[in-house]
Structure 1
Amino acid sequence: MAAKDIFHDGVKTALQKDGWTITDDPLHLRLSGVIDLYIDLGAEKLLAAQKEGKKIALEDAEPDRTLYLAIPLDVYNEFFTLPFIQSVILRSQLKLIIYDPIREEIAQWHP
């Protein structure tokens, strides 16, 4: 299992402040009975959460979950707002959680 990245705890706290219940930290998936997989909203392991019957996580292995990529607010503002990147996000139907790492709060859900 990979080590947590520097954003993991901040994203986890932000989700909890936003009313989410952390269900798995990390979420361990075994694909085809052979491959162990750990995915994190930050990049290395999975942080699974649920709120009001909605779940976020790895969509293919657990279809009732939606995959989100957590992005620090300053990185979003400096890079992810560029027109080319916005078009890639729209074409890919990428879902983002933009969070403030200082306040450890969700700034925006995109889209």
Structure 2
Amino acid sequence: MSKRDKYHETVKQALIREGWAITHDPYMFQTDPKLATDLGAERLLAAERGYERIAVEIKSFLRSSQVVDLEEAIGQYALYQLFLRQSDPARQLYLAVPRHALDNILSREVGRVAIEGLKVNVIVYSLADEEPLLWKPQ
């Protein structure tokens, strides 16, 4: 299993503040070799609608090349999406990215085309404490 992203706790605490219960840390797939997203969470939508369930892959975008960060993130997202559809199709996959990635690579052509074309659900987190998450589902 890979090591946790630098901002794992930042995203986890932001989800908890927004009413999510962390159910998996990490969310494991039954694969060979073992794969895992960083978190699994759920929250009650309404009594008649049941629970909303998500899996979250957290990325920090700290390399000198945000294009390389984007390529890695998109590759992981696509792979995890395939396994999630098989094992837990009701759970939505999200890619958590910091605000600086949204303001930079994800606002440029390469990022916009990748996110929109591949229908990547995005959560934008802030490195400042207590700021709410920005949800960008596809």
TM-score of the two chains, using structure 1 as the length reference = 0.81
Partners of 2:108 and 2:19 lie apart in 1 by 30
Q: What is the number of equivalent residue pairs in this alignment?
A: 103
Q: Which moved more, 1:101-110 or 1:21-30?
A: 101-110
Task: Tell me if 1:73 matches 2:71.
Answer: no
Unaligned runs of 5+ in 2: 45-50, 56-79
Amino acid at match of 2:13: T
Partners of 2:134 and 2:89 lie apart in 1 by 23
Q: CA RMSD in A?
A: 1.7
**Which residues of 2 match residues 29-108 of structure 1 at below 5 A?**
29-31=29-31, 34-40=32-38, 47-52=39-44, 53-57=51-55, 59-60=84-85, 61-103=87-129, 105-108=131-134
TM-score of the two chains, using structure 2 as the length reference = 0.67
Partners of 1:71 and 1:104 lie apart in 2 by 16
Q: Please tell me whether the aligned partners of residues 97 and 110 of structure 1 are also in contact (alpha carbons under 8 angstroms).
A: yes
**Deviations 1:1-26 (CA, angstroms, capped at 9, x unpaired):** 32212011111011111111100111
Partners of 1:83 and 1:92 lie apart in 2 by 14
Offset of residue 107 of structure 1:
3.2
Unaligned runs of 5+ in 1: 41-46
Query: In proportion to residue count, which structure has more strand?
Result: 1
How has the CA–CA distance of structure 1 residues 9 and 17 changed in structure 2, closer, same or farther, with 3 Å as cutoff? same
Tell which has more relative contact order, 1 or 2 (C-alpha 8 A, sep 6+): 1
**Deviations 1:64-90 (CA, angstroms, capped at 9, x unpaired):** 111100000122112211133212211
Taking every aligned residue pair, what percent have the same amino acid on both sides?
A: 32
Partners of 2:90 and 2:15 lie apart in 1 by 18
Partners of 1:62 and 1:19 lie apart in 2 by 21
Q: Please tell me whether the aligned partners of residues 10 and 104 of structure 1 are also in contact (alpha carbons under 8 angstroms).
A: no
1:80 is paired with a residue whose SS is helix
Query: In proportion to residue count, which structure has more helix?
Result: 2
